[in-house]
Structure 1
Amino acid sequence: MTTTPASTTGGPALPQERRLVTEIPGPRSRELQARKQAAVASGVGTTLPVYVVAAGGGVLVDVDGNSLIDLGSGIAVTTVGNSAPRVVEAVAGQAAAFTHTCFMVTPYAGYVEVAEALNRLTPGDHEKRTALFNSGAEAVENAVKVARAHTRKTGVVVFDHAYHGRTNLTMAMTAKSMPYKSGFGPFASDVYRAPLSYPYRDAGVTGAEAAARAIDVVEKQVGADNLAALVIEPIQGEGGFLVPAEGFLPALVDWCRANDVVFVADEVQTGFARTGALFACEHDSVVPDLIVTAKGIAGGMPLSAVTGRAEIMDAAHVGGLGGTYGGNPLACAAALAVIETIESDGLVERAAKIGAQMTGRLRALQERDPRLGDVRGRGAMLAVELVRAGTSEPDADLAKRVAAAAHQRGVVVLTCGTYGNVLRFLPPLAITDALLDEACDVLDEAFEVTA
């Protein structure tokens, strides 16, 4: 187990170590879980019922004193580190000044400053505008509203394996039924689905060919004249960390430009240095018309945004965009601190380094274990797709067993994928190299004990 001071990695100076003093979960966590089951709606699940009391750098500390290595970042939220020092200072200072006025009633500078920063940082040098909201799903819905207002069309195309949220419209846009959609319909109409580029299961299909396949479906089943927006995750998140083949995204952008369709990049999970670029669409030299951000934008505070071309964003009438809490001053202060941390601490480059370090370990494991069908991702957004050895048949049970084995050994990992057979890794960029290596050692052991 490794120990490194965490003076710049958030919260109190937590020892950067994996430390197990009880079974996982421990007795106090089990007690809290029993209280949760009696008090919280059963539809709210938990992946790993250890109850956290402190977090920072690359670790989570629970009520029983266990210190776990964090490879989840709260699902790509605490990218700059949990309770990162600049974020803590900014939020505390803002809370002491005021916590809320509602920007639509009496505005404040923080909202404007976040909008200015996003207009500067997002791809493209065209004139931009930004609107702030609370969650990724809310921002996706507002991107669709803006696209419809601009084009005067209503259709929306999304893709196989997509995940866009849990509101009614975004459930319609999300591909996977269970647990996200099952039993919650009927859903919003005028949403259509096209095939994605999925290189592991699309052997031999180029990005351009996959784009042509998708465009053919759209033209035949929807029609460009009826389509307001094409919405896509540059790297799919819940769908399995699917990185489309080279050329897929640019071909879709070209088609959108030629057909008056708004190209919307959903960068809720991929944004803010996570992939080794500030935004994942930069890997493909794609400039979206609208870009949706959330999760890593504010270090754990609830904030999301839609940023895009001024002429598109300004299509909505005055009062048509907003919300009581959208662009809350505490969240805006946090976002500005997150952006400063990314830029000052070189976290884009750090994400790329984490990706190289972890990919090397995962590929070495793949060479030893044929159940790792695919290793993929970019930067600190990586995944392995698990299959039955010697086949490409998804093995969801193996993913559950490996995740459980890692959890028991003090490493937090997440699963995802349409088939439930993908392990995903989203370490905070504040994690140390030593902790990352130790987490990979634990993963090696987890695969060994599930052989």
Structure 2
Amino acid sequence: MTTQAIDPQYRIEQKRRINGAFPGPCSQELAARRAKSVAAGVASGVPVYVADADGAIVTDVDGNSFIDLGSGIAVTSVGASNAAVAAAVREQVGHFTHTCFMVAPYEGYIEVAELLAELTPGDHEKRSVLFNSGAEAVENAVKIARMATGRPAVVAFDHAYHGRTNLTMALTAKAMPYKSSPAGTFGPFAPEVYRAPMSYPFREENENINGKEAAERAILAIEKQIGSESVAALLIEPIQGEGGFIVPADGFLPRLAEWAQEKGIVFIADEVQSGFCRTGDWFAANHEGVVPDLITMAKGIAGGMPLSAVTGRAELMDAVHPGGLGGTYGGNPVACAAAVAAIGIMKDLDLNARAQHIGSVAMTRLHAVAADLGDKSIIGEVRGRGAMLAIELVMPGGKAPNASATKAISEYCLKEGVIILTCGTYGNVVRLLPPLVIGDDVLEDGLNVLEAAIRSQC
């Protein structure tokens, strides 16, 4: 294996270690306090409580150290306590923590907007607006598209995830746990939201359908069921996140973008999870040369501080009247300082190249495991780009989703000191989102545990 140096001077030893009982007594005590004070609707994937984190390691209150292959859902790409980000935050806090950009503006907001104009796809004139969360960014992108076009309808796709606010729940495809439960629903949801068929190569009924043909299938559904003249925006994740890290077939995104341009429809790329070097490029849309009209961002943008953005064509962004966009905390000065520092680290360490390296190492290992297991393999497909990777787990010999194995693998890894995430419409996908500053030895150790976990289910 070819190694690639990455040494941002970690504070914490980059090794996993599990001490005694799991979860430990301090985590159990915190769990008891939580049960009395935190709403039951807020769920956590692991039963331990964090005391410290750095690089690719998370330590809990009982002294256990875990390899983090989730990055807080693709957020801590530069590490959970990167020194440059921490220094930028301390510096900004020493001056002011808030004025509200809508009241008394400041340079940090402008600097972030300038960086986004530089980094996002396309060389057209751009404008940006900053918010706090990915859902806010998506919701405001829809507002901008509707204002700019004067049209009401928004088209999202099967398996999509766009957030938990009322509008973004409507845009999200999966009902449980985001929109409803056996006990009831969060609805009614926002109107004029429609859904089109996605390109999901592993689960296509017609295994021979290509990306362009899958796009034509979606276009036909939109034209017949909605009418392009009513559509303000086409909203899509270039690589779907919660839906299962679904990478559409080549040609799917370009054809949709081309059609949207022909019909005067705003093409919105939701890059909340896939942006900022995660896929081996600044944005996943770049892999097929797609230039979105609007792009939504969050997660990896600010090294763990809450910040999100919409960047897009100047004529679209400026179609909204003054006062029509904003929010009290949107583009908070501390979060902006963190973003400038985090983006600087991404450039200095060439984390696009690092993501490509991580993907190459992990893909090679996982494909080898699947081949070695042969007919008894539960690995249906290994997919993804860069350091945004997925393993879709199935029943041996077919494609029936294997959610029970997915849960068991996650639990096995956690007990061995490795945090992984799961996702997918069918609950059968293991997703890997390691910090892009993870060392090769730590990555290999985490993959060793994951491989053992997979083999334990075969």
Q: TM-score, normalised by structure 1?
A: 0.97
Matches within 5 A, 1:272-311: 272-311=276-315
Q: Aligned runs of 1:9-88 on 2, under 5 Å?
A: 9=9, 13-88=11-86
Partner secondary structure for residue 94 of structure 2? helix
1:8 offset after TM fit, Å? Answer: 1.9
How far apart, in 1, do the equivalents of 2:201 and 2:24 lie? 41
Query: Displacement of 1:448 after TM fit?
Result: 2.5
One of 225, 246, 257 as aligned partner of 2:229? 225
1:192-211 aligned at under 5 Å gives the runs: 192-202=194-204, 203-211=207-215
CA distance in structure 2 between the partners assigned to 1:175 and 1:126 by the alignment:
32
CA offsets per residue over residues 182-217 of structure 1, 9 Å max, x none? 010000000000000001112211000100000000
1:9–1:56 Cα contact (<8 Å) kept: no
Q: 1:371 aligns with which of 356, 367, 378?
A: 378
3-state SS, counterpart of residue 260 of structure 1: coil
Whether the 8 Å CA contact 2:6–2:439 is kept in 1: the answer is: no
Structure 2: how far apart are the matches of 1:214 and 1:379?
27
Q: What's the counterpart of residue 92 of structure 1?
A: 90
* Whole-angstrom CA distance in 2 between matches of 1:176 and 1:441: 32
Secondary structure of the structure 2 residue equivalent to 1:97: coil
CA distance in 2, matches of 1:287, 1:374: 28
Structure 1 equivalent of residue 437 of structure 2: 430
Amino acid at match of 1:110: G
Match for residue 364 of structure 2 among 326, 346, 360: 360
Deviation per residue, 1:308-357 (Å, 9 max, x gap):
00000000000000000000000000000011000011111000000000
For 1:110 and 1:409, how far apart are their aligned partners in 2? 42
Q: Which moved more, 1:348-357 or 1:359-368?
A: 359-368
Deviation (angstroms), 1:97: 0.5
Asked whether the 8 Å contact 1:6–1:16 carries over to 2, the reply is no
Which is worse superposed, 241-250 or 439-448? Answer: 439-448
Matches within 5 A, 1:98-247: 98-182=96-180, 183-202=185-204, 203-247=207-251
Counterpart residue identity of residue 230, structure 2: N
Superposition map of 1:361-400 within 5 A:
361-369=365-373, 370-400=377-407
* Residue 333 (structure 1) aligns with: 337
Q: Distance in 1 between matches of 2:383 and 2:329?
A: 37
Could you tell me which amino acid in structure 1 is paired with residue 150 of structure 2? Answer: R
**Structure 1 position 6, deviation (Å):** 9.5
Q: State the alpha-carbon separation in 2 of the partners of residues 23 and 221 from structure 1.
A: 57
Runs of 4+ in 1 over 6 A off after TM superposition: none
Q: Which moved more, 1:365-374 or 1:176-185?
A: 365-374
Local SS of the residue matching 1:37: helix
Q: Distance in 1 between matches of 2:345 and 2:137?
A: 24
Deviations 1:253-274 (A, max 9, x none): 0000000000000000000000
- The SS at the match of 2:109 is helix
Q: In structure 2, what residue type is equivalent to 1:186?
A: P
Distance 1:447 1:357, change over 3 A: same
Provide structure 2 residue ranges, at least 5 long, that are not aligned to the other structure. none
Q: Distance in 1 between matches of 2:26 and 2:332?
A: 34
CA-to-aligned-CA distance 1:343-372 (integer Å, 9 cap, x gap) = 011111000000000111111111133210
Q: CA deviation at 1:7?
A: 6.7
What is the percentage of aligned positions where both structures have the same residue? Answer: 60
Aligned partners of 1:447, 1:356: CA distance in 2, in Å? Answer: 19
Separation in structure 2 between the aligned mates of residue 148 and residue 445 of structure 1, nearest angstrom = 50
Moved more, 89-98 or 440-449: 440-449
CA distance in 2, matches of 1:199, 1:6: 34
State the distance in 2 between where 1:294 and 1:136 align. Answer: 5
Give 1:33 shift: 1.1
How far apart are 1:449 and its partner, in Å? 2.4
The Cα offsets for residues 268-307 of structure 1, whole Å up to 9 and x where unpaired, read as: 0000000000100000100000000000000111100000
CA-based RMSD of the aligned residues comes to 1.1
Equivalence for 2:271? 267
State the aligned residue count: 445
Select between 19-28 and 263-272 the one with higher mean Cα deviation: 19-28
Q: Are the aligned partners of 2:279 and 2:356 in contact in 1 as well (CA < 8 Å)?
A: yes
* Distance in 2 (alpha carbons) for counterparts of 1:267 and 1:6: 25
